[in-house]
């Protein structure tokens, strides 16, 4: 299972939010490229970057910083936040990212199909859930759509990668929602990357045992609750 350090961008800085709440922000670095190099130096094989401004506003707002991050490391970078159409996603790919994560836009089957047709395996469905229901627009709005139901539809359209985030676990350092993750993994024929709440090596092992292809880790790495090198060694 791949471990992906998270770099969340807001106003050009590396931050973390609690449960996606923009009013509960902690700034961890004003030099995201340096942070990216740090995670790579510890053994990361891929980075997970989110443009929080883009997620909220509907279009990427930190592409210049993303470009700098991609130039600073030799490992692949995946980017989410504001990927509302294929042309915007192509801009992100042009900035150097390896994969784009599409959230709000995949609610539209036509848009989801266009993403898959145009970008193939370079597009990832970002499914963020609050109490099992899909949340969109940077988690500001919760829909009446079940996360697993959406995932099944997207996989039927050709999506092969899913980043599944349990919002209530995110940033809380209390572990991830393993039952929800396992349900997602067992419900779809796709590679599922777990996100939200992963704090310890045991959490990572639990995500791996639930069938996750990868796990995104954020706040736990920044606070020192989890050591990336130790985690990589423990899971190898």
How do beta strands 99-102 and 214-217 pair? Answer: unpaired
Spatial distance between the Cα atoms of 227 and 221, rounded to a whole number of angstroms: 6
The answer to whether residues 2 and 46 touch, using CB atoms and an 8 Å cutoff, is: yes
The Cβ of residue 71 has, within 10 Å, a number of other Cβ atoms equal to 12
Tokens at 135, concatenated: 């949340």
What does the angle CA 113 – CA 210 – CA 230 come to, to the nearest 5 degrees? Answer: 110
* Residue from 51, 53, 68, 128 carrying the catalytic annotation: 128
Spatial distance between the Cα atoms of 157 and 223, rounded to a whole number of angstroms: 39
Spatial distance between the Cα atoms of 44 and 128, rounded to a whole number of angstroms: 24
Query: Is 8 a residue of the active site?
Result: yes
Query: Is 21 a residue of the active site?
Result: no
Report, as residue numbers or ranges, the catalytic residues.
8, 128
């Amino acid at each position: 299972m791949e471990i992906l350090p998270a770099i969340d961008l807001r106003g050009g800085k590396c931050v973390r939010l609690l449960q996606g709440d923009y009013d509960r922000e902690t700034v961890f670095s004003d030099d995201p490229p340096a942070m990216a190099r740090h995670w790579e130096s510890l053994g990361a094989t891929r980075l997970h970057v989110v443009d929080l401004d883009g997620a909220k506003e509907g279009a990427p707002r930190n592409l210049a910083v993303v470009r700098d991050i991609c130039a600073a490391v030799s490992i692949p970078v995946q980017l989410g936040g504001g990927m509302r159409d294929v042309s915007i996603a192509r801009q992100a790919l042009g900035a150097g990212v390896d994969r784009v994560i599409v959230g709000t836009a995949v609610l539209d089957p036509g848009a989801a199909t266009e993403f898959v047709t145009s970008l193939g395996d370079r597009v990832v469905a970002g499914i963020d859930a609050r109490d099992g229901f899909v949340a969109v627009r940077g988690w500001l709005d919760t829909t009446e759509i079940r996360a697993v139901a959406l995932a099944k539809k997207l996989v039927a359209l050709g999506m092969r990668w899913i980043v599944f985030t349990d919002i209530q676990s995110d940033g809380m350092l209390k572990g991830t929602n393993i039952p929800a993750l396992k349900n997602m993994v067992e419900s779809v024929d796709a590679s599922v990357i777990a996100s939200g709440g992963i704090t310890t090596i045991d959490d990572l092992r639990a995500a791996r045992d639930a069938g996750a292809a990868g796990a995104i880790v954020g706040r736990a790495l920044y606070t020192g609750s989890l050591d990336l090198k130790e985690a990589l060694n423990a899971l190898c």
